[in-house]
Amino acid sequence: MSSSKSPEIATTERIRQLAAARQQTLALEPAEAMQAIFEHPQPAALVHSFTGEDLHFLIHDIGLENALPLIALASNRQWEYFLDTEIWHRDRLNIPRTTAWLQLLLQADSQRLTSWCFEEKLEFLELYLFRNIEVCIRESDQAPSDLGEGFFTDDDTFYIRFVDYPTETPEEESIKALRNDMLGQLLRRLSIYDHPRYQGLLLEAASLIPGETEEALFRLRNVRLAEKGFLPFDEAIGVYQPLRPGDLEARSQKIMRPAENDHSLLPAPQFSAVFLDGDDLFARALKGISKAPVLQQLQSEVASLCNQVIAADQMVIRGRRQLQVVVDKVSSYLSIGLERITVAASHQPEPRACAAIQRHMLADIFRTGYSCALELKWQADRWYRESWSFNRKIDLTFWGENWLGQLGGLLIKRPQFYDPNLPETNYRDFTAMDEIEQTRNALEQVMALDQLFSRLGLKNENVSAHPFADYKNLLLTQWARSCSNLPPVDVGTSDVTIGLDAFKNFYRSLWTPTPHGAIIEDARKSDFLEWIAHTCEMPSEEVSRRLGWVFEALFDEITEELANVATGNLEPRHIHLFLLKA
């Protein structure tokens, strides 16, 4: 006699098969994923095995109209998730979005939508009807014409008219026409499905207290989304609260599910895991985990963390591309947090990082990583409020394009990394500790230069008189003036430029001819450093330590721009590193 599997084992095996099919489907392109679903032996079971988040992203990638067959297969809980994420704007019901989604559900499965409205979404439907229809009950001695124009009825007793509102654009007119058409169809189906309940629905909608109902619906919606990590904004924003590594160790550790007791049958959101294919420290740490239950638990935690970041940033995510941005951000700050934790194992951080993500909550590691950027922002904020440039009302453009971008990324609400190579925007989230350190070095160099300028004695009118003045040409010009025995700029001398004749004499002394071309010798660079130290009353060693690389780059730029220019060919309008008087 052949032995058969127990029902529990068969169910577990079936769920694992669906999980494998779901993971393969999500890795496909949208059109191929839809085809794979309908080629599956049980497409409805496969669709129901998707989390609401994964299915929501998938239908948006496919296109809502093209995904109607998938929407028809979705469960009522998945439908509810679609509405929870799509039809609310802050704490108010978005009527145009609600209309569009009711139209989609009506097209996908009108019979099920009708039943669902009566059985599970009655208060929601009452609120929507309250905002969109007028209800009149005709008395026995009253003519229908007495009610006014625009009313229609199914039973000659309850008369309905769509609420009219002014429209200014063809798009608004189209939305109103869609609402009228959709509501007409839905009301007829509700009436046919159960006419006495339909009449009760109209009576309840007409006497509704909208504020109380909307608040109750919003509260229930928030509870459902909170179970998936979409916390209310005032709670979700806690994901950006800084956490130091020492405080991280003091927090409670998470409990990982033992691999040998893997009885979890709940599907974990997998769309976010699909994008974790980078080479940052967090992705490498995940690759070091071989136990499937542990990896699944971490994927669920990543999905929940992504949802919390989405809620904190008040983003609307409707596709893979938008989700990719969120996953990249989460993975980046997790990697920075892990770098901070595993700093003692800089040569081989992966094993320690792998252990850390199994010991600490990912949200805590994220906060540890984000605190690096936040602490840098706080340092920039404190300096800028007291800086020479701010008090002189000098724009950030004074510090040049690169430093302008880096300072701008720190002075915005949420710090970002300046990357001039990006095609659309020059800002993105920090991805590694190296970028944090790179930005910190830039900030410290600007702070040192700002302190230097505060000791040069320059007044507001000295800088504002020259719209193209920046730290490079202003500093070099003052040095050229000093070498030419011109008086220093002070209250009595407002002109910071240098005449062309005086500059030519300085220019000749700047260069040393060699067989390979003119160069600026180290002696001249040392003269510049000594002039800075003397003028600003700072030790030359300190100036060299804090700004040596900046000045070296400045002289390299002079060489690149002017080394091949003869003294007789100098034209003030073509020289940007010195302020020349025309």
**Of 329-338, 441-450, 495-504, the least confident:** 495-504
Q: 143 - beta bridge partners?
A: none
Q: Which two tokens stand for residue 270?
A: 């997998």
pLDDT band at 457 (very low <50, low <70, confident <90, very high): confident
pLDDT given at position 16: 86
Residues 274/326, Cβ–Cβ less than 8 Å: no
Say which residues have a Cβ less than 8 Å from residue 51's Cβ, sequence separation at least 6: 228, 267, 268, 269, 270, 303
pLDDT band at 292 (very low <50, low <70, confident <90, very high): confident
**Of 13-27, 172-186, 321-335, 492-506, the least confident:** 492-506
Alpha-carbon gap, residue 51 to 82, rounded angstroms: 11
3-state helix, strand, coil in the chain (%, to 5): 65, 5, 30
Q: Does residue 5 register a pLDDT over 70? A: no
- Strand boundaries in 452-563, DSSP class E: 498-499
pLDDT given at position 412: 95
Average pLDDT over residues 247-269: 68
Q: Per residue in 125-155, pLDDT tens? A: 999 999 999 999 999 889 988 898 999 999 9
pLDDT given at position 167: 92
Mean pLDDT of the chain: 90
DSSP symbol at 490? B
Nearest Cα to 194, choosing from 122, 137, 144? Answer: 122
Q: Does residue 1 register a pLDDT over 50? A: no
Return the domain boundaries, the chain: 75-227, 233-258+268-369, 375-446, 460-574
Average pLDDT over residues 63-73: 97
Average pLDDT over residues 274-291: 82
pLDDT given at position 184: 96
Nearest Cα to 529, choosing from 519, 520, 539, 518? Answer: 539
Q: What is the DSSP string of 49-91?
A: HS-HHHHHHHHHHH-TTTTHHHHHHS-HHHHHHHHHHHSEETT
pLDDT band at 467 (very low <50, low <70, confident <90, very high): confident
Residues 582/572, Cβ–Cβ less than 8 Å: yes
Average pLDDT over residues 35-54: 95
Q: Per residue in 371-384, pLDDT tens? A: 999 999 999 999 99
Average pLDDT over residues 458-467: 68
Nearest Cα to 23, choosing from 63, 66, 58? Answer: 58
Alpha-carbon gap, residue 117 to 120, rounded angstroms: 6
pLDDT given at position 346: 64
Residues 478/498, Cβ–Cβ less than 8 Å: no
pLDDT given at position 2: 47
Q: Does residue 157 register a pLDDT over 90? A: yes
pLDDT given at position 491: 46
- Residues 60-84 as b/e (b if ≥16 CB within 10 A, e otherwise) read bbbebeebbebbbbbeeebbbbbbb
- Strand boundaries in 433-564, DSSP class E: 498-499
Q: Per residue in 513-553, pLDDT tens? A: 998 889 999 999 999 999 999 999 999 999 999 999 999 99
pLDDT band at 318 (very low <50, low <70, confident <90, very high): confident
Virtual torsion, Cα 361, 365, 370, 376, nearest 10 deg:
140
Q: What is the DSSP string of 310-379?
A: HHHHT----SHHHHHHHHHHHHHHHHHHHHHHTGGG-SS-HHHHHHHHHHS-HHHHHHHHHHHHHHHHHH
Residues 483/509, Cβ–Cβ less than 8 Å: yes
pTM: 0.84
Q: Per residue in 304-315, pLDDT tens? A: 999 999 999 988
